[in-house]
Amino acid sequence: MTARIAGIGICVPENIITNDDLAKIVDTNDEWIRSRTGICERRISTEDGTSALAAKAAKKALEAAGVSPEEIDILILGTSSPDYNYPSGACEVQAAIGAVNAVAFDISAACAGFIFAMEIVQGFFQAGIYKTALIIGSETLSKVTDWSDRGTCVLFGDGAGAAVLKADEKGIIDMMMGSDGTKGPVLACQSRTLGNFLTGTKPEIGFMTMDGQEVFRFAVKKVPESVEILLKKTGIPKEEIKYYVLHQANERIIEAAAKRLKEPMDKFPMSISRYGNTSTASIPLLLNEMVEHGMLEPGDKIVMSGFGAGMTWGAVLLEW
Ligand code: UT7
């Protein structure tokens, strides 16, 4: 048995923040942001937190799949901006949607979170332990963004995407995942600084920090590398891959990956211009659009690939 995507749902906040809006609060401009990243606007949440966005996306995914909340065996939320240390966002979603029979937990794999969640589910399906899963990528990174740092604040957006996975004959063909903790400091958010009565220190709120060029170099190497590994392992030729659904971090990263893979840009759909980098939500947001636009037919082969803080990376090759 393998994992098949049975339905997708998304939720993005209503507030649209354009590049011109950001130029009013930091020293930046529309031309720089568009040409360096491909981003034109992003959504920023003022009401819903990570769990609320996740629950709304989850309900839509269940509806699309025709699956009831009670049928869910396992519910995984990938996020790097949870509302609380605990309870987990996944447990909050479980309560909100009534997935009473599910085991629910969060995973922290940053922008690779959706891919990691899918691969964890695949393991359970292959072992015959569970049959129906709900995976969600949800972020409100706006709350850990330093809105005076133009190097990061123009990049990210809030949003959530969810998918119902069912154990089936066809679906995931192969997958890979990896991490390198030595590169942790290049993209970090130290929002839980230690504080106790012995050290006399107090907990401090920290913001996201990033060495953009280092992350860029990492991504343009790892994304094509992970795709190549999967193609080689499965023996599936590139001609059979209809689309590469990559984490939407920067248009230039996606272009560089296409070039290294020697594949045409029309195989790389994008939604970054409208949502910015929504971290673990970016892949399901894009997949949802592809479904809405009728771009995917049963039997199509696609590769999904994500990378992010940790550093983490992963890719999945599946048949739709
Ligand atoms: O999900 C993973 C999360 N992160 C990423 O994927 C980030 C990967 N990295 C990137 O996308 C790019 O490195 C950035 C978009 C972050 C930056 O693009 P870059 O082409 O690497 O620019 P840079 O950092 O080399 O900066 C070039 C110049 C600098 O000015 P000087 O030193 O040349 O005078 C920056 O200070 O651009 C300046 N700059 C800006 N200017 C206007 C940096 N941010 C901005 C800005 N507006 N927002």
In this prediction, residue 202 has a pLDDT band, given cuts at 50, 70 and 90, of confident
In this prediction, residue 199 has a pLDDT band, given cuts at 50, 70 and 90, of confident
Query: What is the distance in A from the centroid of ligand 1 to the CA of 5?
Result: 35
Please tell me the predicted confidence (pLDDT) of residue 192. 64
Q: What is the DSSP string of 25-90?
A: TSS--HHHHHHHH---EEE--SS--HHHHHHHHHHHHHHHHT--GGG-SEEEEE-SS-S-SSS-HH
pTM of the model: 0.96
**Residue whose tokens read 């594949």:** 263
Per-residue pLDDT, averaged over 197-222, amounts to 89
Percent of the chain with pLDDT over 90: 94
Q: Which of 11, 19, 91, 111 is catalytic?
A: 111
Please tell me the predicted confidence (pLDDT) of residue 221. 96
Is 212 near ligand 1, meaning CB less than 6 Å away? yes
Interval 277-301: pLDDT, tens: 999 999 999 999 999 999 999 999 9
Query: What is the distance in A from the centroid of ligand 1 to the CA of 37?
Result: 9
Cβ contacts of residue 189 below 8 Å, gap of 6+? Answer: 80, 144, 206, 207, 208, 209, 309
Per-residue pLDDT, averaged over 6-10, amounts to 98
Is 216 near ligand 1, meaning CB less than 6 Å away? yes
Interval 150-179: pLDDT, tens: 999 999 999 999 999 999 999 999 999 999
- What does the alpha-carbon distance between residue 219 and residue 315 come to, in Å, rounded to a whole number? 13
Please tell me the predicted confidence (pLDDT) of residue 77. 98
Q: What is the DSSP string of 122-153?
A: HHHHHTTS-SEEEEEEEE-GGGG--TT-HHHH
| Active-site annotation holds for 189 | no
Please tell me the predicted confidence (pLDDT) of residue 193. 64
| Active-site annotation holds for 11 | no
